[in-house]
Amino acid sequence: MNKLVIDKDILIKNIEAIKKHTRSKIIAVLKANAYGLGLLEFASVLQQNGIDFFAVTDIKDALKLRENGITGQILLLTPTNQAEEALLIIKNKIIATVGSRSSALVLNNAASSLKETASFHLKIDTGLGRFGFLPREIPDVCSFLKTLNNIQITGTYSHFSFSFSKKTKAVYKQYVTFINAVEKIRQKGLDPGMCHICNSSAFLLFPQMHLDAVRIGSAFLGRLLVKNICNLEKIGYLKSRIIELKELPKNHNIGYANTYRTKRPVKIGIVPVGYMDGFGLRKRRDSFRFSDILSYIWRDLRLLKKKELVFINGKHARILGRININNIVVDITGIGANIGDEVILANINPLLVGSHVEREYI
């Protein structure tokens, strides 16, 4: 019954604003169910609006895109060390990431068994400490790669660890490390292909680092950790309905932990939406896990208690008491709301809206 609503017009405006901000190729990053917007729906809007390069972190997502009419290039950001995955990558014309010798070997063996040449982007770890070769390994790695006849570099990339920070020194350092690594690849006689390092925050803050391509995820949703210089709008709101009406006298408690007491007689509406649907949650910068999210719900609760508003029939209504797992209580005194009336909850992050909630593109 609850729905996550995505306004296509706003999404398209964001896509156009992003396109205008760069001359480089745009790689749309669609991890985590496309940041909650729904992998296939989101990818098809992007494709219809001229985006033809996608990146995912899970091979299953890459295959889903292929099976559902996404014809552009797809880069798998996670290297694989498994032969079966490597075979799937090659058969479905997905671009692999190679960030270790073993992932290069696995890909080469799979390609050789299929009598194909597999395309890959070389990942360099310039400071995040995750996937990728260390810069000092590059000369040896290049010699090694030259011995593998069934794989071919079509790109080289790295990922910033702190591009949303005001301390830009770390960003410049990683950028220079990357550029030097690319230069070393050239010196070894290999073509690095398309080079890319910017995610959304670096894309906005450091236009001089756009290189051949930029990898954009959160900017499409207008959810930024840096200054919004492109006027990107936030995408996605929750839609629910009033399922019960009731009147409460003055001085009556509402909700767990007795944090709210009515100051006058109030008319309340009960709305079946809560944490379970991603309402009232905030994403921490470094976390996508529900268990982590729970640990700071309490901090946010204090913030929410006073400020959180919903819209009913175009009017503001206040949430009374705490947000629960699956419902909230709203003050509809003087609003003239009825059972079945729509309730709009604008202040949500699509990434945190559970997959049980239907995505509706309007």
Ligand X SMILES: *Cc1c(COP(=O)(O)O)cnc(C)c1O
Residue numbers at the binding site for ligand X (CB under 6 A): 29, 31, 77, 159, 199-201, 215-219
β partners of residue 317: 310
What tokens appear for 134 in the block? Answer: 């260390």
Min CB(183)–ligand X separation in Å: 22
Q: What angle do CA 245, 251, 254 make, to 5 degrees?
A: 50
What tokens appear for 107 in the block? Answer: 């890909």
Residue closer to ligand X, measured from CB, 40 or 198: 198
* Helix (H/G/I), strand (E/B), else coil: 308: coil
At 271, which amino acid appears? V
Residue whose beta carbon is closest to ligand X: 217
- How far apart are the C-alpha atoms of 247 and 102, rounded to whole Å? 67
What tokens appear for 26 in the block? Answer: 């745009």
Min CB(164)–ligand X separation in Å: 8
Catalytic residue from among 31, 188, 267, 305: 31
Quickly count helices (H) and strands (E) in the chain. Answer: 10, 19
Residue closer to ligand X, measured from CB, 124 or 216: 216
What tokens appear for 232 in the block? Answer: 């990107």
- How far apart are the C-alpha atoms of 113 and 108, rounded to whole Å? 9
Min CB(162)–ligand X separation in Å: 12
Residue closer to ligand X, measured from CB, 124 or 145: 124
Residue closer to ligand X, measured from CB, 283 or 322: 283
Catalytic residue from among 146, 256, 296, 315: 256
Min CB(96)–ligand X separation in Å: 14
Min CB(27)–ligand X separation in Å: 8
Angle at which helices 83-91 and 101-113 pack, to 10 degrees? 60
What tokens appear for 293 in the block? Answer: 């999210």
Q: Which residues contact 134 (CB under 8 A, 6 or more apart)?
A: 124, 125
Q: Is 35 part of the annotated catalytic residue set?
A: no
Q: Is 256 part of the annotated catalytic residue set?
A: yes
- How far apart are the C-alpha atoms of 195 and 136, rounded to whole Å? 18
Backbone angles phi, psi at 46, to 5 degrees: -60, -45
Min CB(318)–ligand X separation in Å: 32
Please state whether beta strands 73-76 and 53-56 pair in parallel, antiparallel, or not at all (unpaired).
parallel
Supply the DSSP symbol for 93: T
Min CB(132)–ligand X separation in Å: 10
Residue closer to ligand X, measured from CB, 29 or 345: 29
Residue closer to ligand X, measured from CB, 216 or 312: 216
Residue closer to ligand X, measured from CB, 206 or 311: 206
Q: String of b and e for 294-304 (b: at least 16 CB within 10 Å)?
A: eeeeeeeeeeb
- As a whole number of Å, the CA-based R_g of the chain is 24
Write out the catalytic residue numbers.
Answer: 31, 256
